[in-house]
Structure 1
């Protein structure tokens, strides 16, 4: 079952956010993670919005996603992430 990590963010520090993004991307390969979408907010079709950036990462399974998130390499980036953005993270499992 494919799994998706979906992060919506309000950027506090664009430079640190770019650093976080580069460093986080470097941790994905071992877990089969693949960046699917990285974009800036451009408008609402319906509802309210409180974020200005979105990222979606695809993993082969929820187990891979969780192992990546819990990994020492990714966990070491959390202080940088906290300095860079307010981030909401959701996970989604998609049947094959």
Structure 2
């Protein structure tokens, strides 16, 4: 069953964040993941939710998504992102 990683990002250091975005796609592909949403325009329908940047990734399973997040390659990228941005990230199992 598919799993989705939902990410809300507030970028504080755009230059450093560019380094993160250069590293990340390969780490996702190596775990059979793909981008569903990568930034783009958002529109709030209810509430006061207004993330600066939203990313949604799809993986074949919760295990694949978790394996990606804990992988050595993504850990390197994650450390860069954590310096460049404030992030909320969740894995959600699909239906």
- Using structure 1 for the length normalisation, give the TM-score: 0.88
Q: Residue 34 of structure 1 corresponds to which residue in structure 2?
A: 34
Q: Distance in 2 between matches of 1:14 and 1:82?
A: 12
* C-alpha displacement of 1:40: 4.1
How many residues end up aligned between the 2 structures? 95
The CA deviation at 1:51 is: 2.1
1:28 partner SS = helix
Structure 1 gaps of 5+ residues are: none
Q: RMSD across aligned C-alpha pairs, in angstroms?
A: 1.4
Please give the residue correspondences for 1:10-89 in structure 2 after superposition, counting only pairs within 5 Å. 10-40=10-40, 42-89=42-89
Greater Cα offset, 39-48 or 22-31:
39-48
- 1:40–1:52 Cα contact (<8 Å) kept: no
1:46 and 1:70 map into 2 onto residues whose CA distance is 33
Please tell me whether the aligned partners of residues 41 and 51 of structure 1 are also in contact (alpha carbons under 8 angstroms): no
Residue 22 of structure 1 deviates from its aligned partner by: 2.0
Gaps of 5+ in 2: none
Deviates more, 1:23-32 or 1:56-65: 23-32
Q: Deviating runs (4+, > 6 A) in structure 1? A: none
